[in-house]
């Protein structure tokens, strides 16, 4: 009686054919969208830190009359930190932006105990990589958005 199965040569041939197909398909898989995802992720993570700073400023209003702020570093490697304005204590950070993501625009966002910005104009920071961008903006009353 003969056992049915595949020979070693047949298995190797199938693996070689799959490798050739993969080498053609993978470069066309749309890896360019990775830049967009990284720029969006950097913007959303920064937005979350701004929301945390605003929340801490409101929560600790009775004990901290100066509020909390998020500051972006002025040069590479780009990082940002969340700190207590009254004590200069760093609460979180520094957090590094993903490799290759740059930023431009405003660097300091300070929230008062009422949850609004310490300045009277809208502040914006743009995160970009390979032409893809994400813009974080904060209005004077403390509304935080990512576009």
pLDDT digits 0-9 by tens, 57-85 = 999 999 999 999 999 988 878 899 999 99
Q: Distance between CA atoms of 45 and 23, rounded to whole angstroms?
A: 34
24-43 pLDDT, tens digit per residue, is: 877 665 655 666 788 888 88
Nearest to 57 by CA among 49, 69, 71: 69
Confidence of residue 5 (pLDDT cuts 50, 70, 90): confident
Q: Which CATH superfamily is domain 33-146 in?
A: minor pseudopilin epsh domain (3.55.40.10)
Domain assignments of the chain as residue spans, ordered by start: 33-146
pTM for the whole structure: 0.75
User: What's the pLDDT score for residue 86?
Assistant: 92
Read off the pLDDT of each residue in 81-100 and give the average, rounded to a whole number: 89
């Amino acid at each position: 009686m003969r056992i049915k199965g595949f020979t070693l040569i047949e298995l190797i041939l199938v693996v070689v054919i799959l490798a050739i197909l993969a080498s053609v398909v993978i470069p066309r898989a749309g890896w360019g969208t990775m830049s967009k995802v990284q720029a969006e992720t950097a913007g959303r993570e920064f937005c979350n830190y701004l929301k945390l700073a605003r929340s801490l400023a409101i929560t600790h209003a009775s004990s901290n009359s100066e509020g909390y702020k998020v500051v972006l570093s002025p040069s590479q490697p780009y990082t940002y930190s969340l700190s207590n304005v009254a004590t200069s204590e760093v609460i979180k950070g520094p957090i590094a932006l993903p490799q290759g993501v740059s930023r431009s625009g405003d660097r300091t966002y300070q929230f008062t105990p009422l949850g609004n910005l310490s300045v009277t104009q809208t502040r914006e920071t743009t995160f970009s990589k390979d032409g893809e961008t994400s813009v974080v903006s904060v209005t004077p009353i403390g509304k935080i958005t990512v576009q």
